[in-house]
């Protein structure tokens, strides 16, 4: 009895695999054509018989996927559940075996039965084909071609050769909906069998063993692909090897890669298009995100996304329980109370995937993470080089620039990571996505999101495409190079001793290119010199910015926080230039900072009313006039510090100050110099006034002080603060009273001034105690002083050391007579006399001796009271003339201009 089924595939030129047109799964059976034989196809263990492929192709192109009528003549035993029969097959009334004999692709078998009329006709057809040299009877034999049934051994080279090219192929097996075995027909005639997984999708797995169970919809997906592609001619594009979703640095470098067992590619049918899109649209496959890089460039990934959205909306099969995706909003709807879409200025770059921005229309600053982007980690030595390069790439592109920010989602708090806004940041006229550029440079990777994770960048497929480009070209983190971690920059402001040797070199260089690495206060910056890999502290000379609290227990001065914020937003991480003219006692370099080569940061801060001019240090600067003009402008505009400025009141206060510049009443006091030091303003020293009750009291106090510290126990956990009165052990091993100038809880040391002798030193916390109340009543016996009328030659002069030695020889350790010529706050301007050397001459002094030796000059800028002492000044001018005539000190090589 004749039966009707559909041809699923052609096993060889004389055998068909049939299946029912309906049923899930449909029933199948193998049917061998009776009375004929065709060449057998080979496999991994044997080669094709001659003409086997051509015979199979003749039959395949005519019957696959089409209904046929067949009659079973004899049933065979089977090793599986698929029946195996021998019989005849007709299609559209034509006998298939007869067609094969006529075309010369089969032979008649020898039979022992009496030939029938039908047998005679078949014999005639075979004879006719043989005489015509058709098919297997071709006297020239088959065209030579190699057939490789196993995957290429050098899979990397194979992909490199054929990647992106169109290759004709025949689907030989469907393993599951998205995994195929394909015969590639290469241009040189060779055949290469390959296993391919469809790019961008994954269908449910189908059981390969009797004791396994297929995943839901696995069999249906396989049937869907089989009915459309099995043994059909297709066009194949090989795209990649199946690299796992691991990103660079997640595993150690491997040796030579093993041969791949499968490739990733696309399969296009002439009538049906890309089978992957149909699978997704019918809910029989899910989109594979990490394949986006291979598909995004040609729009294929976007078509898969559209198919996925349609399937989710219809809740088809695999997407039956999946909620339809919410429409992505590009508007300014609030997220957690914050604007979601806004213009901003980039104020700081934290890493290769995190920045801080200030909203353009407000003062609010927000720290954001680039969506779906992961930069290398600074903490990992293998990644540190690329982490620094990524951060620098972002800094150069974005710092201080206007950007458009769209917050895509809020990344919730996780472990040690705080909640963070994840956003897409675009900049420039082309509105380029900075994350995409970063990934394309090989300086970051795209995050592998979970399958149904909708919290991702709206440009996610573009990010994956950018990573594909970086990976294929071996850029950055994909290069396979493990570069050594960058060395930490040398901190040359660690101490005054470390900093001082660099001053003269910096002066010779003039303006030096650098980067503002950090802003510590309105006028204090951490500067990085990339070419020398050095960092230093730069203090702006000529100004004073309000002090900023360094910890919770301190309080900022008025406008201190505003000065810090302004300086941070304007200068943080900017390319800059700086120059140096001095160094302070803590190792900070005193100088100027320039933005865009012309903007002087000190002038800008003063103009904004966030700093004041420090006249004593500003007057010697070339840009002093700019500072004073800027301050005058800030005063008139009543900006920040000057918001309560009253010009008339200041003028009223200044008038008596001019009167105070007159000569003071002569009052000689016996003194001894207890400390000598050179600071930013020149020579300073401390004196103790003798023959007073204070000195006698000090001697008594020091005896008690010494006994007290032999018994007092250390104070556990004591942390001195700036301004505290303490007792401290000096380098001579004795305890003295001191005042804290600056303390560092990190270094556990403090800078101190010993109030009874004037010495200054840095002392560890372990050698500092709280000052007992009974030792607090006596005022400090050291008085800060400088020489009146004159200025000792500075460190820049070759005579500086001679001048210092001369001063020490005249004064150090000797009882002197001092007259105070002027008081500048707590600083005394003194004329020093030695009774043995100067006798009773009221105009003789150490000051005059230093001028006469060419070791000092008259200080017309720093001593505005000169006019009040004409006789003293005249004697000093005579001393200067004598030094010039004798070519002494600074006048050794000729005349030197006097300080104006």
- Is the residue at 691 inside a domain? no
- Name which residue leads in pLDDT, 688 or 100: 100
Q: 447, 478, 509 — which closes off a domain?
A: 478
In angstroms, the CA 421 to CA 340 distance is 10
Q: Out of 51-55, 185-189, 448-452, which region has the weakest mean confidence (pLDDT)?
A: 448-452
Q: Are 18 and 29 in contact (CB under 8 A)?
A: yes
Q: Do 186 and 133 share a structural domain?
A: no
Q: How confident is the model at residue 337 (pLDDT cuts 50, 70, 90)?
A: low
Instruction: Please name the residues in contact with 131: beta carbons below 8 A apart, sequence gap of 6 or more.
Output: none
Q: How confident is the model at residue 335 (pLDDT cuts 50, 70, 90)?
A: low
Residue (of 723, 718, 771, 724) closest to 745 by Cα position: 718
DSSP 438-502: HHHTTS-EE----TT---S-TTHHHHHHHHHHHHHTT-GGGS---PPPPPPPEETTSSHHHHHHH
Q: How many domains does the chain have?
A: 4
Q: For the whole model, what pTM was predicted?
A: 0.64
DSSP 643-684: TT--HHHHHHHHHHHHHHTSPPPP-EEEEEEEEEEEETTEEE
What is the per-residue pLDDT across 50-81, written as a single tens digit (0 to 9) for each? Answer: 999 999 999 999 999 999 999 999 999 887 78
| Average pLDDT for the chain | 88
Arithmetic mean of pLDDT, 571-588: 93
Q: Are 672 and 691 in contact (CB under 8 A)?
A: no
- Is the residue at 859 inside a domain? no
Q: 451, 478, 505 — which closes off a domain?
A: 478
Q: What is the pLDDT, as a whole number, of residue 894?
A: 58
Q: Do 295 and 163 share a structural domain?
A: yes
Q: Which uninterrupted H or E stretch holds 617?
A: helix 615-618
Q: Do 624 and 512 share a structural domain?
A: yes
Question: Encoding tokens for residue 124?
Answer: 């005639």
Q: What is the pLDDT, as a whole number, of residue 653?
A: 42
Query: What is the Cα Rg of the chain in Å?
Result: 46
Instruction: Please name the residues in contact with 588: beta carbons below 8 A apart, sequence gap of 6 or more.
Output: 493, 499, 524, 536, 537, 538, 539
Q: Do 446 and 378 share a structural domain?
A: yes
* Whether residue 890 has pLDDT greater than 70: yes
* Whether residue 683 has pLDDT greater than 90: no
What is the per-residue pLDDT across 745-800, written as a single tens digit (0 to 9) for each? Answer: 888 899 988 888 888 889 998 888 888 888 887 888 889 899 999 999 988 888 88
Q: Are 684 and 786 in contact (CB under 8 A)?
A: yes
Q: Out of 558-572, 638-652, 829-843, which region has the weakest mean confidence (pLDDT)?
A: 638-652
- Is the residue at 617 inside a domain? yes
- Is the residue at 816 inside a domain? no
Rounded to 5 degrees, φ, ψ at 139 are -65, -20
Q: What is the pLDDT, as a whole number, of residue 119?
A: 87
Q: Do 396 and 438 share a structural domain?
A: yes
- Is the residue at 668 inside a domain? no
Residue (of 512, 549, 518, 842) closest to 721 by Cα position: 549
Q: Do 313 and 173 share a structural domain?
A: yes
Query: Can you tell me whether residue 193 is helix, strand or coil?
Result: strand
In angstroms, the CA 876 to CA 896 distance is 16
322 CB neighbour count, 10 Å cutoff = 17
* Whether residue 328 has pLDDT greater than 60: no
What is the per-residue pLDDT across 76-86, written as a single tens digit (0 to 9) for each? Answer: 988 778 899 99
Instruction: Please name the residues in contact with 676: beta carbons below 8 A apart, sequence gap of 6 or more.
Output: 683, 685, 804, 807, 808, 811, 812
What is the per-residue pLDDT across 111-162, written as a single tens digit (0 to 9) for each? Answer: 878 888 888 999 999 999 999 999 999 999 888 889 999 999 999 899 999 9
Q: What is the pLDDT, as a whole number, of residue 227?
A: 92
In angstroms, the CA 115 to CA 129 distance is 20
Q: Do 405 and 311 share a structural domain?
A: no
CATH number reported for the structural domain that contains residue 403 in this entry: 2.40.50.90
- Full residue range of the structural domain in which residue 509 is found: 490-644
Q: What is the pLDDT, as a whole number, of residue 136?
A: 95
- Name which residue leads in pLDDT, 498 or 1: 498
Q: What is the pLDDT, as a whole number, of residue 362?
A: 67
- Is the residue at 522 inside a domain? yes
Q: 478, 503, 519 — which closes off a domain?
A: 478
Q: What is the pLDDT, as a whole number, of residue 773?
A: 81
In angstroms, the CA 461 to CA 455 distance is 14
Question: Encoding tokens for residue 266?
Answer: 């696309």
What is the per-residue pLDDT across 302-312, written as a single tens digit (0 to 9) for each? Answer: 999 999 999 99
- Is the residue at 733 inside a domain? no
- Counting every residue written for the chain, the total comes to 900
551 CB neighbour count, 10 Å cutoff = 7
Q: Do 157 and 289 share a structural domain?
A: yes
What is the per-residue pLDDT across 859-882, written as a single tens digit (0 to 9) for each? Answer: 988 888 998 999 999 999 999 999
In angstroms, the CA 792 to CA 537 distance is 27
Q: Do 405 and 282 share a structural domain?
A: no
Q: Do 208 and 111 share a structural domain?
A: no
Q: How confident is the model at residue 292 (pLDDT cuts 50, 70, 90)?
A: confident
Distance of CA 325 to the CA centre of its chain: 32
Question: Encoding tokens for residue 891?
Answer: 């006048």
Q: What is the pLDDT, as a whole number, of residue 743?
A: 87
Q: Do 152 and 126 share a structural domain?
A: no
Instruction: Say which residue the tokens 């930013």 belong to.
Output: 680
Q: Out of 236-250, 635-649, 874-888, which region has the weakest mean confidence (pLDDT)?
A: 236-250
Q: What is the pLDDT, as a whole number, of residue 555?
A: 83
Decide: residue 657, CB within 10 A, 0-12 exposed, 13-18 middle, 19+ buried.
exposed
Arithmetic mean of pLDDT, 841-855: 91
Q: Do 190 and 264 share a structural domain?
A: yes
Arithmetic mean of pLDDT, 558-572: 93
Q: Which uninterrupted H or E stretch holds 881?
A: helix 870-885
Distance of CA 771 to the CA centre of its chain: 48
Q: What is the pLDDT, as a whole number, of residue 134?
A: 95
* Whether residue 699 has pLDDT greater than 90: no
- Is the residue at 213 inside a domain? yes
């Amino acid at each position: 009895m004749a039966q009707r089924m559909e041809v699923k595939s052609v096993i060889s030129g004389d055998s068909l695999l049939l299946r029912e047109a309906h049923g899930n799964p449909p029933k199948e059976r193998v049917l061998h054509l009776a009375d004929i034989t065709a060449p057998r196809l080979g496999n991994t263990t044997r080669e094709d018989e001659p003409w086997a492929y051509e015979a199979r192709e003749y039959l395949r192109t005519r019957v696959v996927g089409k209904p046929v009528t067949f009659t079973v003549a004899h049933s065979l035993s089977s090793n599986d559940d698929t029946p195996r029969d021998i019989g005849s097959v007709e299609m559209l009334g034509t006998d298939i075996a007869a067609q094969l004999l006529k075309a010369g692709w089969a032979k008649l078998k020898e039979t022992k039965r009496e030939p029938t009329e039908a047998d005679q006709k078949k014999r005639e057809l075979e004879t006719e084909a043989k005489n015509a040299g058709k098919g297997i009877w071709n006297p020239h034999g088959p065209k030579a071609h190699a057939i490789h049934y196993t995957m290429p051994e050098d899979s990397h080279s194979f992909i490199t050769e054929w990647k992106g090219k169109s290759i004709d192929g025949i689907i030989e097996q469907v393993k599951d909906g998205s995994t195929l075995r394909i015969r590639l027909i290469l241009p040189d005639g060779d055949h290469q069998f390959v296993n391919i997984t469809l790019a961008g999708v994954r269908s449910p797995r189908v059981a390969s063993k009797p004791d396994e169970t297929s995943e839901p919809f696995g069999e249906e997906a396989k049937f869907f692909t089989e009915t459309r592609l099995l043994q059909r001619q297709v066009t194949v594009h090989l795209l990649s090897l199946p690299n796992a979703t691991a990103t660079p640095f997640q595993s150690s470098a491997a040796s030579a890669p093993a041969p791949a067992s499968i490739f990733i590619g696309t399969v296009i049918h002439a009538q049906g298009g890309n089978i992957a899109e149909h699978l997704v649209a019918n809910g029989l496959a899910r989109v594979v995100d990490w394949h986006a890089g291979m598909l995004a460039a040609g729009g294929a990934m976007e078509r898969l996304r559209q198919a996925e959205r349609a399937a989710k909306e219809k809740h088809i099969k695999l997407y039956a329980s999946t909620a339809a995706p919410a429409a992505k909003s590009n508007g300014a709807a609030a997220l957690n109370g914050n604007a979601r879409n806004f213009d901003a200025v980039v104020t700081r770059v934290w890493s290769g995937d995190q920045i801080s921005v200030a909203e353009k229309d407000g003062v609010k600053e927000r720290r954001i993470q680039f969506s779906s982007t992961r930069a290398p980690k600074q903490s990992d030595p293998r990644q540190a080089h690329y982490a620094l390069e990524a951060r620098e790439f972002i800094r150069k592109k974005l710092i201080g620039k206007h950007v458009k920010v769209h917050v895509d989602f809020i990344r919730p708090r996780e472990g040690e990571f705080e909640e963070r806004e994840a956003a897409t940041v675009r900049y420039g006229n082309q509105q380029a996505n900075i994350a995409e550029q970063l990934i394309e440079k090989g300086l970051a990777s795209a995050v592998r999101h979970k399958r149904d994770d909708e919290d991702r960048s709206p440009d996610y497929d573009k990010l994956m495409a950018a990573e594909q480009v970086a990976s294929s070209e071996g850029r950055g983190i994909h290069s396979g190079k493990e570069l050594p971690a960058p060395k930490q920059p040398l901190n040359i402001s660690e101490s005054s001793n470390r900093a001082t040797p660099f001053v003269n070199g910096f002066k010779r260089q003039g303006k030096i290119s650098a980067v503002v690495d950090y802003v510590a206060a309105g006028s204090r910056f951490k500067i990085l010199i990339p070419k020398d890999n050095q960092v230093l502290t730069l203090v702006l000379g000529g100004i004073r910015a309000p002090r900023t609290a360094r910890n919770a227990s301190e309080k900022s001065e008025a406008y201190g926080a505003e000065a810090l914020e302004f300086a941070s937003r304007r200068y943080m991480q900017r390319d800059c230039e700086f120059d140096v003219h001095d160094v302070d006692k803590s190792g900070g370099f005193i100088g100027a900072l320039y933005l865009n080569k012309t903007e002087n940061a000190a002038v800008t801060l003063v103009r904004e009313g966030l700093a004041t001019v420090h006249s004593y240090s500003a007057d010697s600067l070339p840009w002093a006039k700019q500072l004073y003009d800027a301050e005058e402008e800030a005063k008139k505009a009543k900006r920040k510090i000057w918001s309560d400025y009253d010009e008339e009141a200041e003028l009223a206060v200044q008038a008596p100050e001019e009167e105070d510049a007159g000569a003071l009443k002569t009052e000689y006091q016996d003194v001894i110099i207890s400390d000598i030091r050179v600071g930013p303003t020149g020579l300073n020293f401390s004196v103790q006034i003798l023959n007073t009750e204070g000195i006698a009291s000090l001697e008594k106090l020091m005896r008690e002080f010494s006994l007290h510290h032999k018994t007092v126990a250390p104070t556990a956990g004591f942390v001195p603060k700036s301004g505290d009165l303490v007792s401290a052990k000096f380098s001579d091993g004795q305890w003295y009273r001191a005042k804290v100038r600056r303390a560092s809880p990190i270094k556990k040391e403090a800078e101190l001034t010993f109030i009874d002798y004037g010495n200054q030193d840095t002392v560890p916390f372990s050698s500092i105690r709280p000052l007992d109340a009974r030792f607090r009543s006596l005022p400090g016996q050291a008085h800060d002083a400088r020489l009146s009328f004159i200025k000792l030659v500075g460190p820049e002069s070759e005579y500086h050391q001679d001048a210092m030695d001369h001063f020490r020889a005249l004064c150090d350790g000797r009882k002197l007579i001092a007259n105070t010529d002027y008081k500048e706050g707590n600083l005394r301007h003194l004329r020093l006399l030695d009774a043995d050397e100067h006798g009773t001459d009221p105009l003789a002094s150490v000051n005059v001796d230093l001028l006469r030796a060419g070791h000092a000059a008259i200080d017309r800028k720093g001593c505005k009271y000169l006019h009040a002492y004409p006789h003293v000044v005249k004697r000093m001018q005579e001393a200067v003339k004598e030094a010039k005539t004798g070519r002494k000190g600074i006048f050794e090589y000729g005349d030197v201009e006097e300080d104006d």
